[in-house]
Structure 1
Amino acid sequence: MVSVQQWTGREARALRAALRMSTRGFAEHLGVALRTVAKWESLGAGTQPRPDTQAILDTALARADAAAQARFEALLHPERKSARPADYETWSEDIERAVVCVSRQDFSFASTLLNRWLGRHDPGGLDDKGLYLYGRSLVLLGDLQRDQGMVLGPLSARHSYLAARELFNELDIPRRVAQIELSLAVVCEMSGQLDASARHYLALAADERLSRRDRARARLWVGTALSKGGDNEYATSVMRDATREFEELGEPEDWSVAHQKLALAHRGAGDLAQALHYIDIARTTGTVDSPMQRVRLDTAYGHVLLSDGATRNDGLSVLDQAATVAHRYGLSHQLRSIEGIRKGQRG
């Protein structure tokens, strides 16, 4: 088992990182003051804990599991790390390229860009910069998996988001943590847990860790979950509030998407005139620059058209076009939604 002859702030910090704890969590784990841990973090090798605290650190290391001890040893030997500062620049560039690929539904290339780094590194052997890049890569992998409809299971968006949330909690970046929690609520909704997802969205809509735009999105998605659950009247009220927020913020794309969601809520309530009004606004104001956006908009439009016998054939044609694009880009969740709409019409 790895051991420490003389603890300094450097070794103490490495133990905290190896245990994947925040500074506050580490202080509570050891039973010492938060300011003590903060001193170790700031002074590093320039400070030595008192003899009684040395013994506490010895005990904490001895009780750590094998994986944590391996991470601790790796952190004490930076020359053995597989990631170097020069790697981080390339890694950052690959993340930005992956962002573009995911937005365009080029999932294969995005996966290659992300997994070349995720497969190369053990988070336990990375410094804070490396952990940040690892966490961002996991979030993007989760986005990719979510868009492909892989929402639950070991190779799923939920699994990737949870791992990323753990890292950003460790790095003490609350904004990133809250954004991941918003993504987890989306996964919850996609898996059919409508009541739970609505509760999550509602809590996040008032969460100050999020930007005003993200809080408005959470409010919009409260309405989406409610509408899917059949509570269309309350859903439209919540969605209109979010729509006004996007207008005040000057977010035209979110404003357009909100009208798409409003159209579906009015369709669910049986108000086809309003549904057509809102979907026309969405179709004429939205910027459709990705296959995912096109499929979502066409699916909503087709769903509205199918609700009127006079436009049923047009609706089927629009859904066929959406299904063709979804199949081409591997958007399996959207394909399931389209098939569900078709089955509802046949039923």
Structure 2
Amino acid sequence: MATVHHWTGLEARALRLALRMSVRTFAEHLGVAVRTVSKWEKSLAATAPRPDTQAILDTALLRADAAAQLRFEVNLAEAGGHDARAGEAPMAAAVGGPRAWEYESWTDDLDRAAVALSRQDFVFADDLLRRWLSRFRPVELDDKGLYLLARSTTLLGDLRRDRGTVLGPLSARRSYADARSVFAQLHIPRRVAQLDLCQAVVAEMSDQLDSAARQYASLMVDERLSRRDRARARLWVGTVLSKNGDPGRAVRVMGSAVREFEDLAEPEDWSVAQQKLALAHRGTGDLTSALHCIDVARTSGVTDSPLQRVRLDTAHGHILLSDPATLDDGLRALDSAGSTAATYGLSHQLRSIEKIKAVQGADAGRPADAVADRERRT
């Protein structure tokens, strides 16, 4: 919080502007004469309020909200005055590092980038992130700046993951590793564990299923994570089991995650878990339960992002392909999912869709019992 050890007219004027008050309103707010405030504004640093008035100004600053306090620091910096924090050099003279208003803008841009990512507006999100990632060197940043740097790098990893770039020097894996290093430096174990969870997702997407399974199993009991994140790890353990040809165990593990999300009142995670549970039921050959779960997922989701629509349509199509009576409906669902994935640059999902269709094509004309056996194994 901003503090002032000795008020002058300069700090008083900065506070008035931060509170967005006129001279008269500010005087009434403090309980002093208008001419007193006018004198402060005329003389600035050359005058100092009386000791009792200093205390009144202290109280006014203390009672200001966080946004006003930040504006106060910015006003002082831009006026070339002393930083409101005791014993520090003027903020405008900080070597290379961000000023208070830049921290505020950086935080706002991270929030905007997260919203853009939720809508798969990758170009806009990438622009918002890179304007800050290229602006400062890590050595120029204090702990607050390093925290924002790590958050930015994490979001860049999410962007690359959603676009399907999971391996290589410009990949989600690299971004997550960089962000994890900074959070470890800042001694924030929860964030470090969250990045470990992100790395496990990348391993699964890269078909490194054994590695992903080990990481998920460890993280679902990791006390550094919140209960919600541990439930996510449990759900993804089930995903790996399903991909590894053990859908029966996957159903049991995912069912536990579904109940956990229900207890936590997390509707979006609960909906995603229903979608994954549907595919696990499909793997066991229980198409009735699979269709029930995918219908629940399609009608209970809180968000309607392009990525989630692609995932739901892909899962629904995959299930419908398992029954010859709904084969054409399944192909139409996959075509719709593929079109959306291509429009938004969701390359990982597009590859998954093409793989499902290729398997369907390979199964065409095969004996029914052979196809059924393949279905049980995939």
Listed one character per residue, the Cα deviations across residues 130-165 of structure 1 (whole Å, up to 9, x for unaligned) are 100000000000000000000010110000000000
Name 2:140's counterpart in structure 1: 125
Name 1:37's counterpart in structure 2: none
Name 2:158's counterpart in structure 1: 143
* Alignment map for 1:286-305 (pairs within 5 Å): 286-305=301-320
Listed one character per residue, the Cα deviations across residues 266-287 of structure 1 (whole Å, up to 9, x for unaligned) are 1112221221121111122223
* Alignment map for 1:1-347 (pairs within 5 Å): 79-347=94-362
State the distance in 2 between where 1:345 and 1:273 align: 20
Q: CA deviation at 1:124?
A: 1.8
Residue identity (%): 65
State the distance in 2 between where 1:123 and 1:308 align: 56
SS state at 2:164 partner = coil
* Count of aligned residue pairs for this structure pair: 270
Q: CA deviation at 1:86?
A: 2.0
Q: Tell me if structure 2 keeps the 8 A contact 1:98–1:113.
A: yes
Query: What amino acid maps onto 1:255 in structure 2?
Result: W
State the distance in 2 between where 1:113 and 1:103 align: 14
SS state at 2:94 partner = helix
CA radius of gyration, larger in = 2
Q: Which runs of 5+ in 1 are unaligned?
A: 1-77
Q: Tell me if structure 2 keeps the 8 A contact 1:288–1:294.
A: no
State the distance in 2 between where 1:264 and 1:334 align: 15
Post-superposition, which runs of at least 4 consecutive aligned residues in structure 1 deviate over 6 A? none
Query: What amino acid maps onto 2:268 in structure 1?
Result: E
State the distance in 2 between where 1:164 and 1:224 align: 25
The root-mean-square deviation of aligned C-alpha atoms, in Å, is 1.0
Listed one character per residue, the Cα deviations across residues 8-29 of structure 1 (whole Å, up to 9, x for unaligned) are xxxxxxxxxxxxxxxxxxxxxx
Q: CA deviation at 1:227?
A: 0.4
TM-score (norm 1): 0.76
Q: Which runs of 5+ in 2 are unaligned?
A: 1-92, 363-378
Q: Tell me if structure 1 keeps the 8 A contact 2:268–2:303.
A: no
SS state at 1:209 partner = coil
**Relative contact order (C-alpha < 8 Å, sep 6+): which is higher?**
1
State the distance in 2 between where 1:206 and 1:339 align: 35
Name 2:24's counterpart in structure 1: none
Listed one character per residue, the Cα deviations across residues 237-296 of structure 1 (whole Å, up to 9, x for unaligned) are 100110111111111221111111111011112221221121111122223421011000
Query: What amino acid maps onto 2:174 in structure 1?
Result: H
SS state at 1:80 partner = coil
Q: CA deviation at 1:98?
A: 0.2
Query: What amino acid maps onto 1:218 in structure 2?
Result: A
State the distance in 2 between where 1:182 and 1:87 align: 30
Q: CA deviation at 1:212?
A: 0.5
Listed one character per residue, the Cα deviations across residues 12-51 of structure 1 (whole Å, up to 9, x for unaligned) are xxxxxxxxxxxxxxxxxxxxxxxxxxxxxxxxxxxxxxxx
Q: CA deviation at 1:85?
A: 2.3
State the distance in 2 between where 1:249 and 1:79 align: 45
Listed one character per residue, the Cα deviations across residues 196-220 of structure 1 (whole Å, up to 9, x for unaligned) are 1111111110011111111101100
Query: What amino acid maps onto 1:79 in structure 2?
Result: A
Cα distance change, pair 288–132 in 1 and its aligned pair in 2 (3 A): closer
Listed one character per residue, the Cα deviations across residues 70-128 of structure 1 (whole Å, up to 9, x for unaligned) are xxxxxxxx832242222111100100000000000000000000001101111122110
